[in-house]
Structure 1
Amino acid sequence: MSGLPVPGWVPAARRQAQQPPAAPRLPFVVAGQAVGTVAPGVLDEIALMPAFCLPFLLLKKEHGGALAWHLDATASDATTALAALAQALRRAGRCGAWRDEQLAVCNAAGERIGTVERGAVRPLGIATQAVHLVGSAPGGRLWVQQRAFDKPTHPGKWDTLMGGMVSAADTLHTALERETWEEAGLHAGALHGMAHRGHVDFARPSSDGEGVGYMVERIDWFHATMPEGLVPENQDGEVERFDLLETAEVHARLERGEFTPEAAMVLAGFYGW
């Protein structure tokens, strides 16, 4: 712990990170495995689509003693069935921003049963994994990024030096290396003292799919020090700019709510709150 009083923004950030859904959600089951949750009415409209839109049966029936939505596919067809469902959600306007990026779909035991388009994970309440990097300069100042104003989530908000999703093709460490390069133009091996420092968990409503999404995410965060003279430079167009801030200014921006909810929770952990 930092030894300093916990500032008011910290309990507010924790409350924001853990929020129940606006309405009760039904379990979402693929190939007999519960992998997410869905809001009332969303899959009812998808289930009525013609077979050329969704060639896999979508039906409501019991699972573990409770009513659930089932995507009726075999284990070997799970990814194909999820791809068809993601496209159907997109046609119905119930998908998040389409990324052409596959994320892992896992059961409650963490076993992968397939993959799905990133834009579909929030409407289907599928758990995701992300990685963040807190980057210090010698002397203790922090490098932070301002998100591009055309980002689909939290445009223009402040963030850690790097934050990104762990894709289906990634391990945690390959995601760390890839995102550090894409977002900050830095090779992880050039940074000093790179270390895993903790994780934060999110479970909260999401605006994806016209407000029917639910975010379930684990964020693993790392800390490293950038050598003197090394300056981040965005490579993928998703960052507006970088700032190098004194601790007091980081805290002031956190107090004013200028950071994303994810970055706020990571920085709370970094400062020991």
Structure 2
Amino acid sequence: MSHPLIADILNFLQKMPRFTPLDELRLHIDDVAVGWVKPAIADALVAIAGAHAMRKTESLHLRAASDGVGRSIVVQGWAHALHEQGLLQNWRDEPMTLMHQGHSFLTTERAAFRSLGMATQSVHLNGWLTSPDGMQIWVA
């Protein structure tokens, strides 16, 4: 039996915006699709990475390193360069790990995740209940 609140939540979620790449390029690092970048970020990464970058019509391919530690060092350097150019905002000095197939693929500055279109794995606790006063929502 389905609860009316569940139907309301599912209806709400169906109306939420979904990501549709318009002019973004698919970002690949070491042959793994990791995110999406705007053309200005792609141009900057090509300039920063030099021979380690290949831009195609709909994608950007970057070569960093063959292992996670080396890859993290290289990508962190790219993140610093983007930040220095004003293309990466809200620097936090907070390392964040990008997972791929259940393993650490790279670790870099959290602020780089949004600009590079990489998905973060975080826990957010939300709750709701119905009471005589109506529905109450708790968001953390």
Answer yes or no: same fold by TM over 0.5: yes
Q: Using the alignment, how far apart are the partners of 1:104 and 1:5 within structure 2? A: 33
- 2:112 corresponds to which residue? 120
Work out which of the residue numbers 130, 134, 137 in structure 2 matches 1:248.
134
Q: Is the 8 A contact 1:25 1:39 kept in 2?
A: yes
Tell me, yes or no, if the aligned pair for 2:37 and 2:117 is still in contact at 8 Å.
yes
Q: C-alpha distance in 2, partners of 1:5/1:26?
A: 35
Residue equivalent to 1:111: 103
> Using the alignment, how far apart are the partners of 1:89 and 1:82 within structure 2?
10
More relative contact order in 1 or in 2 (CA 8 Å, sep 6+)?
1
- In the alignment, which residue of structure 2 is the partner of 1:95? 88
Provide structure 2 residue ranges, at least 5 long, that are not aligned to the other structure. none
Q: 1:37 to 1:71 in 2, by over 3 A?
A: farther
Give secondary structure in 2 for the equivalent of 1:113. strand
Matching residue's letter, 1:47: V
Mapped to 2, the partners of 1:94 and 1:17 lie a distance apart of: 25
Identity of aligned residues (%): 24
Structure 1: stretches of 5+ with no match in the other structure: 142-244, 252-258, 267-273
Which amino acid is 1:132 matched to?
H
How high is the TM-score relative to the length of structure 2?
0.72
CA contact (8 A) 1:96 1:122 kept: no
Matches within 5 A, 1:70-219: 70-75=62-67, 76-107=69-100, 109-134=101-126
Q: Which residue of 1 aligns with 2:11?
A: 11
Secondary structure in 1 aligned to 2:76?
helix
Higher helix share: 2
- The alpha-carbon deviation at position 57 of structure 1 amounts to 4.9
Q: In 2 relative to 1, CA 71–14 (structure 1 residues): closer, same or farther, beyond 3 Å?
A: farther
Q: Distance in 1 between matches of 2:62 and 2:22?
A: 22
Match of 1:60 among 30, 40, 54: 54
Asked if the contact 1:26/1:40 (under 8 Å) is kept, the reply is no
Please, what TM-score do these two structures have when normalized by structure 1? 0.41
The aligned residue for residue 48 of structure 1 is: 47
Q: Deviation digits for residues 69-102 of structure 1, max 9, x if unmatched?
A: 2133231411101110111121222223111111
CA drift of 1:12 comes to 4.5
Give 1:147's aligned residue.
Answer: none
Contact 2:55 2:61 in 1 (8 A): yes
Query: 1:22: which partner in 2?
Result: 22
User: Which whole-Å deviations, capped at 9, do the CAs of 1:96-143 have from their partners, x for residues lacking one?
Assistant: 311111111223x2321220110000111112111122468xxx67xx
- Answer whether contact 2:46 2:55 (CA < 8 A) is retained: no
Q: How large is the Cα RMSD of the aligned pairs? A: 3.5
